[in-house]
């Protein structure tokens, strides 16, 4: 609890170009959540170097992502928006938690298996202990809630296990975090293969809407979206392409699938695609404009980065000192 509010933590990696899926599935909800919770939203650059990065590129992307957090509407006075690498407590707590995590547990992580297969030439120890760093992120702020997608649920589970194990030895040190499953929980699928999640690393550029796509590009991609030959606009499993378009439409407008289906009754797929495309443009345009404006304002951004890192450090250090004391490190002489 901070100032009577529950604490919420989440982070994103600055790898790849963010998609509409990232926006509707996460960022947009983050803004809503920031009304109710004390939120920490991190650009998790320590996680990014578990796969090789070009340094200048990583720095640029990290700044763009942080700018995008703000452009999406997160108020940096109310939310703590910062780079993970600016708070050394993440790495320090991660080390300690490494000593409370079993090899066997980490071996079961499906994301590690996937990534190890994908980066067979660089299966480094950081990739293996990635979930421990994520646990440190979360536990460092005594987090109550973590909004995560299904792909990160296993990491949240291991975080809870580590926290409970630690607490069982040393008393109530960590808050045990819970998953926050958003009510709309929009899972946006690829426009080219609606069985697959929309991904920032898809080879097919028509599969994903990128947050910075120009309006005409967005409209064109929707025009090319894969549908089916049923010819009717219904919200059901047998029509994953149409359902995905309706999901996107609903996530943008706040309407329910039933309302959307009614609205498009008797209309053709072409009309649906156009309407969804235009809705997406109208949602992304203000974010894009604000991103452009903020990007120009270097001194403002820098001041946000500095102040928020200080705030994050304050809370992180509080937890870290407690943990260090519990495990038996010598007291600091001040
Ligand atoms: N691993 C998460 C992802 O790739 C990002 C992340 C890092 C995160 N630390 C976190 C998400 C803590 C939630 C909480 O999506």
Residue 188 contacts residue 276 (beta carbons within 8 Å): no
The reply to whether ligand 1 has any atom less than 6 angstroms from the CB of 197 is no
Residues 6+ apart with CB under 8 A from 153: 179
pTM: 0.92
Cβ-based neighbour number of residue 249 at 10 Å: 21
231: left (phi over 0), alpha (psi -120 to 50) or beta: left
Chain center to CA of 318: 25
Q: What pLDDT sits at residue 185?
A: 54
List, for residues 176-226, the tens digit of each pLDDT value.
999 997 654 578 999 999 999 898 878 899 999 999 999 999 999 999 999
Q: Per-residue pLDDT for the chain (334 aa), expressed as one digit of tens each?
A: 999 999 999 999 987 788 998 898 889 989 999 999 999 999 999 999 999 999 999 999 999 999 999 999 999 999 999 999 999 999 999 999 999 999 999 999 999 999 999 889 999 999 999 999 999 999 999 999 999 888 899 999 999 999 999 999 999 999 999 999 765 457 899 999 999 989 887 889 999 999 999 999 999 999 999 999 999 999 999 999 999 999 999 999 999 999 999 999 999 999 999 999 999 999 999 999 999 999 999 999 999 999 999 999 999 999 999 999 999 999 999 8
Q: Is 218 in the pocket of ligand 1 (CB under 6 A)?
A: no
For residues 320 and 137, give the distance between their C-alpha atoms in angstroms, rounded to a whole number: 11
Torsion of CA 39, 43, 44, 49, to 10 degrees: 180
CA 229–ligand 1 middle distance (angstroms):
39
Contacts of 305 (CB under 8 A, 6+ apart): 66, 82, 83, 86
Q: How far is the CA of 10 from the centre of ligand 1 (A)?
A: 6
């Amino acid at each position: 609890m901070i100032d009577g509010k529950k604490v919420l933590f989440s982070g994103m990696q600055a790898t790849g170009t963010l998609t509409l899926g990232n926006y509707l599935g996460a960022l947009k909800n983050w803004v809503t959540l920031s009304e109710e919770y004390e939120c920490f939203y991190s650009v998790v650059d320590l996680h990014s170097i578990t796969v090789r990065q070009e340094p200048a590129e990583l720095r640029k992307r990290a700044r763009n992502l942080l700018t995008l957090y703000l452009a999406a509407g997160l108020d940096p006075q109310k939310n703590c928006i910062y780079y993970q690498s600016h708070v050394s407590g993440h790495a320090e707590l991660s080390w300690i938690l490494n000593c409370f995590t079993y090899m066997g547990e980490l071996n079961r992580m499906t994301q590690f298996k996937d990534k190890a297969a994908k980066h067979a030439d660089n299966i480094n120890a950081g990739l293996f202990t990635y979930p421990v760093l994520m646990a440190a992120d979360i536990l460092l702020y005594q987090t109550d809630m973590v909004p995560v997608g299904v792909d990160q649920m296993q990491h949240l589970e291991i975080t809870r296990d580590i926290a409970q194990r630690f607490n069982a030895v040393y008393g109530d040190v960590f808050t045990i975090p819970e998953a926050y499953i958003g009510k709309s929980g929009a899972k946006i699928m690829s426009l080219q293969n609606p069985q697959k999640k929309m991904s920032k690393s898809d080879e097919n550029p028509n599969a994903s809407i990128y947050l910075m796509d120009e309006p005409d590009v967005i409209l064109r991609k929707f025009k090319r979206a894969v549908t089916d030959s049923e010819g009717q606009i219904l919200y059901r499993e047998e029509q994953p392409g149409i359902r995905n378009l309706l999901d996107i439409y609903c996530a943008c407008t706040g309407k329910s699938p039933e309302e959307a289906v009614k609205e498009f009754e008797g209309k053709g797929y072409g009309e649906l695609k156009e309407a969804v495309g235009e809705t997406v443009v109208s949602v992304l345009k203000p974010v894009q404009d604000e991103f452009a404006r903020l990007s120009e304002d270097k001194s403002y951004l820098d001041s946000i980065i500095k102040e928020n890192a200080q705030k994050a450090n304050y809370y992180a250090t509080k937890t870290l000192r407690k943990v260090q004391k519990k495990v038996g490190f010598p007291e600091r002489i001040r």
